[in-house]
Amino acid sequence: MASQKWITGACMTVLALSGGALQAEGAGSDAGAHGARAAMVFGDLDANGDGQLTQEEMTAHRTARFAAADADGDGLLTAEEMTAAAASRMAERTARMIKRMDRNDDGLLSPEEMRAGRDPGRMFRRVDSNGDGVVSAGEFAKVGHGMRGHHETRGRHGKRRHRDHDRG
């Protein structure tokens, strides 16, 4: 029973370490960039390159990510190891984002490069559900509820609320 709990915990940790790769890389706004990122992630998972993912490939990927994060090789992840693994992935994503958005290849992003191809008012218009040009507290709260539902339907917290969200 303890072994099963350890395996379940390890799987949950690996999912936390690997979950959200597409969302975190979602800095680009056009469908082509999103498709390219999805293909890149798919390619990372498709170990044999046959264009299909098997359960074994998914399991192997999670196992490899866990092993990479387990710096001391003890089969357990500390908060420090998880933080280091997350920081490493963030640094990789940031470098890819800069490379993708850096129009003048100077290794830096200007405000113009950050906005290129984006509609800055899009999110505001989505939140301003009645179109009156201002966002009320009620409209703002609906966005929060919508995102919570979005996370739950994407499997972030399963059917139950996460215990940290239930704290008052």
Q: How far apart are CA 155 and CA 19, in angstroms?
A: 10
Token duo for residue 76: 């357990």
Distances (CA, A) of 62 to 34, 68, 104, 135: 22, 10, 37, 41
> Once rounded to an integer, what is the mean pLDDT over residues 30-56?
77
Q: How far apart are CA 81 and CA 56, in angstroms?
A: 25
pLDDT in tens, 87-144: 999 999 999 999 999 999 999 999 999 888 788 788 889 899 999 999 999 998 888 7
Token duo for residue 89: 């992935």
Token duo for residue 130: 């009645």
pLDDT in tens, 19-41: 444 333 444 444 555 566 666 68
> Residues 6 or more apart from 18 whose CB is under 8 A from it?
61, 62, 65
pLDDT at position 85, please? 96
Q: How far apart are CA 61 and CA 58, in angstroms?
A: 5
- Higher pLDDT residue, 75 or 24? 75
In this predicted structure, the answer to whether residue 73 has a pLDDT above a threshold of 90 is yes
pLDDT in tens, 144-164: 766 555 444 444 444 444 444
